[in-house]
Structure 1
Amino acid sequence: WITLKRNINNIKYLPSMVDISFKNRYVYVDVGARSYGSSIGSWFRKQYPKQNKTFHVYAIEADKHFHKQYELKKKTVTLLPYAAWVRNESLSFEINRDPGQEEVNELKDKGRGMGRIQPVKSRQGEFTGEVDEIQGFDFAEWLKNTVTERDFVVMKMDVEGTEFDLIPRLFETGAICLIDEIFLECHYNRWQRCCPGQRSTKYEKNYGQCLKLFTSLRKSGVLVHQWW
């Protein structure tokens, strides 16, 4: 996020390069939205060029800790209080707060650990963080039932590693063709600040696999940016 803010003026957004006025509707889908101010209010509302068009905003956020504040925004934001997934099923939603972080309040997400999902049946071992059982939904099918190729669709995806499940599913179903511009954070086993020489065990993928994911999107004609 710090890197993004430093380079915010250098980003080439699609509406800053082409005319989008011929589109039927204008839609922004925030997958892994967290709080309203996390990216919808602080970035999309303020920074994304809209060519004077009104965008309908969908916030997909499974963490119930952030749901209450969206009640204040329900006229402009549609909250989907579920987890974007590859099928409709119950999931384990795990939140691991870093040591020393304070509990989040209702309107701020500072200190709130990031949530990860996995099927209930596959969850193994003990987990020291917060665990809830939530409902996952087939994101690709939802997208196909919500927008059409005549709409202009922007998506931000920050889903703590689940992008390696969701992106292939979008290709498999053809739903990827409905998205005009993507802002994607890819999660990998990066070096840890706390422990020099050690990589995080939170994610299984490596940076090379993230590059392949971005490359596959761009080779398919999808305008994708790296999100931080």
Structure 2
Amino acid sequence: MRKVFIDCGVREGDAIAAFLGDKEVGGGEYYNRLLPREDAHEFSFIGFESPDFKFKEETKKRFTHVPFELKEQLVWIFDGAVEFDTDGESYDCRLLEVSRTGDAEPWRHPNPLSEIKLLPCIDLAAFVMNNFNPDDYLILKLDIEGAEYDVLQRIIETKAISWLNELYAEYHWWGRAELRPQLEDDIKKIEGLYYRNDWP
């Protein structure tokens, strides 16, 4: 059995640092949401982040002391490429498709220097089922700026949700937020899954 922490929206890696015991990072917000554990040293780590993130080399260097792989792909519902509105560094970077509410037109990144780039994306549900076994211990953290609704819907529909042991999600008010009540109902039905819907 492998133990793996999958961090979607890893950025500088603060969630992983908290998982490894840093109680101060993020003002303690991350550490306080994670389950207390004594086996963190037994985990390997996979971080997904945009390939244009300006500080990805720093993220890699931060975790040279643990098994860590940075995947330069956007987490989404299919393998391929998707439009990403980005300045390469701020928290306002997001998939253009989810940068809206309802049927409104997508709004743009507030930085006037941002660009819409066609960047590689991955079907997260397929990634889980193609790379792990149901008896592995998998932790998933989702902080993907409005794409969480579509990604969680696909994880549930494909049954990949049943492969997870812990799920930490941040929900945003944009994207397909109308899906949240049903998604949360479905998630809470998964036996043995530790779930937090308040990732900061």
TM-score, scaled relative to structure 1: 0.66
Q: Report deviation, 1:33.
A: 1.1
CA distance in 1, matches of 2:6, 2:69: 10
CA distance in 2, matches of 1:126, 1:160: 13
CA 1:127–1:133: 2 relative to 1, 3 Å: same
- The answer on 1:216 being equivalent to 2:186 is yes
Q: Deviations over 1:152-175 (max 9, x none)?
A: 111110111111111111122221
Partner of 2:78 in structure 1?
A: 87
CA distance in 2, matches of 1:80, 1:216: 28
Q: 2:91 is matched by which residue type in structure 1?
A: G
Partner of 2:19 in structure 1?
A: 44
CA distance in 1, matches of 2:107, 2:137: 43
Q: 1:224 is matched by which residue type in structure 2?
A: Y
Q: Report deviation, 1:211.
A: 3.9
- The answer on 1:57 being equivalent to 2:52 is no
CA distance in 1, matches of 2:196, 2:59: 26
Q: Report deviation, 1:125.
A: 7.1
Contact 1:187 1:205 in 2 (8 A): no
CA 1:183–1:84: 2 relative to 1, 3 Å: same
CA distance in 1, matches of 2:136, 2:58: 28
Structure 2 segments unaligned to the other structure (5+ residues): 22-30, 98-104
CA distance in 2, matches of 1:162, 1:75: 31
CA distance in 2, matches of 1:218, 1:91: 30
Partner of 1:19 in structure 2?
A: none
- The answer on 1:139 being equivalent to 2:120 is no
Q: Report deviation, 1:35.
A: 0.9
CA distance in 2, matches of 1:175, 1:75: 30
* Equivalenced residues, count: 171
CA distance in 2, matches of 1:181, 1:125: 32
Partner of 1:99 in structure 2?
A: none
Contact 1:28 1:55 in 2 (8 A): yes
CA distance in 2, matches of 1:150, 1:126: 42
Contact 1:26 1:56 in 2 (8 A): yes
Contact 1:95 1:113 in 2 (8 A): no
DSSP-derived class of the 1:39 partner: helix
CA 1:223–1:69: 2 relative to 1, 3 Å: same
CA distance in 1, matches of 2:107, 2:85: 11
Q: Deviations over 1:16-72 (max 9, x none)?
A: xxxxxxxx1111000111112x3211x211145343351001111114223111331
Partner of 2:95 in structure 1?
A: 117
- The answer on 1:156 being equivalent to 2:141 is yes
CA distance in 2, matches of 1:145, 1:91: 21
CA 1:127–1:204: 2 relative to 1, 3 Å: closer
Contact 2:11 2:59 in 1 (8 A): no
Based on CA coordinates, which of the two structures has the bigger radius of gyration?
Answer: 1
Give the RMSD, CA atoms, in angstroms.
Answer: 2.5
CA 1:141–1:95: 2 relative to 1, 3 Å: same
